Structure 1
Amino acid sequence: MRERRRLRMGVLALVSVLLLGAVPLYFGIRTLSRDPVFDTLDALDVPGWAAEKTVDDVSGSRWCLLDCRLRERTASSQRSPQETAEAYERALTADGWRPWQVTRCPEQQAKGSYTCWRRDELTLDLWVREPSCVPPPVDGAPAIVPSPDPSTAAEQCSGSLVSVKVRNAIDDERTRPQPSTDPSLTGEDPFPTVSEDPLQEPTPSPS
């Protein structure tokens, strides 16, 4: 009886330890697998019509091993790019983000509304533009689509496309001072330009 009681107590203790450890382990794994920046983006007070078909992508290392982490989110909006951009900008401002006036924003010319933001140790790029209505190519050749009804095509091409890119400020090259091209800092040219023809006849020596 004593052996059975000890065995039963041991089993109960083991089950209790497993249950108590499983919950923290679950949330720990969830925290490591889920980037908290996406939770911050989910908490933005953005209308539902401006955040449909959300797709998240992440690359790089959270601890900045070789490459720091880059978070990217794309979403679809039912309304125009201007109205969508205004909704996102209001939500970012209310969440503590501040507009970031910096060169190379965007790094290349982009259609639509492209703005940059900063908060604490993060930078954020917001790009809102009209959706692409051209079907993707098939086997390297343009897709052939029958001419649809104009009203239907207008409905399919309405709305806007949203892209959000979040980086660590320390890994954003735009936070670093850019090298100056001031000629006064480069010194003199070690190979000055010769203004006269060096192949001219030599100056005659005095007799």
Structure 2
Amino acid sequence: MRERRRLRLGVLILVSVVLLGALPLYFGIRTLSRDPVFDTLDALDVPSWAAVETVDNVSGSRWCLQDCRLRERTVESERAPEETARVYETALREDGWEPWKVSPCPEQPAKGSYTCWRRDELTLDLWVREPTCVPPPVDGEPAVPPSPAASAAPGECAGSLVSVKVRNAIDDERTRPQPSTDPSLTGEDPFPTVSDDPLGELTPSPS
């Protein structure tokens, strides 16, 4: 009986040690694998129709080893780009993000609404535009896209597409001061001026 009690007590102690060690390890691994920036984006107060389907992608190192972390999120919305952009901009302001008037924003011309934001050590790019409509395949073969003159069916290809890009401010080139192009600061051109004649003027030899 004493040996059975000791065995049961030992099993209970072993199970307790495993549980007490496994739970912190599980939550620790979960914390390291889940970027807190995505949790912040999840907490944005946007209606359900503005976040129908979400796809996240992350690259780089959280500790900026070689490349700093880049977080990208693509969201589908059921309503038009104008209304979707308004609710996202309002949610960002309520969450402490401030509009960031910086050039270039965007880096390349983009259709729709493209705005830039800053909060603490992060920068955020918000791009809301019309979705890219791809017809479903027909008999296993890609469908021929409709001509621009063809009108889309009611409710087809509606809604909008939202892209969110979050970077560390220290890794965002737009936070760095741009070099001045003032000619007075560059000095004279160190390269000689080349005349039209590639040989120049020949020096006469002594007679």
TM-score, scaled relative to structure 1 = 0.85
Q: CA offset at residue 154 of structure 1?
A: 3.8
- State the alpha-carbon separation in 1 of the partners of residues 189 and 52 from structure 2: 59
Aligned partners of 1:190 and 1:151: how far apart in 2? 61
Which residue number in structure 1 is paired with residue 101 of structure 2? 101
SS at match of 1:20: helix
For residues 152-207 of structure 1, the C-alpha deviation after alignment (integer angstroms, 9 at most, x for no partner) is 634122111100011111111111112222222221112343679743897xxxxx
Q: Does 1:16 align with 2:12?
A: no
| Matched position secondary structure for 1:180 | coil
Hey, what's the Cα distance between the residues in 2 that align with 1:28 and 1:176?
35
Unaligned runs of 5+ in 2: none
Equivalent AA in structure 2 for residue 199 of structure 1: E
Bigger drift between 1-10 and 15-24 goes to 1-10
In structure 1, what residue type is equivalent to 2:65? L
Equivalence map 1:1-207=2 (5 Å): 1-135=1-135, 143-144=143-144, 153-193=153-193, 198-199=200-201
Same amino acid, percent of matched pairs: 80
Q: Distance in 2 between matches of 1:115 and 1:121?
A: 18
C-alpha distance in 1, partners of 2:106/2:79?
23
C-alpha distance in 2 between matches for 1:189 and 1:152: 59
Q: Which is further off, 14-23 or 83-92?
A: 14-23
1:191–1:15 CA distance, 2 compared to 1 (3 A)? closer
Distance change (3 Å), C-alpha of 1:196 and 1:8: closer
Alignment coverage as a number of residue pairs? 198
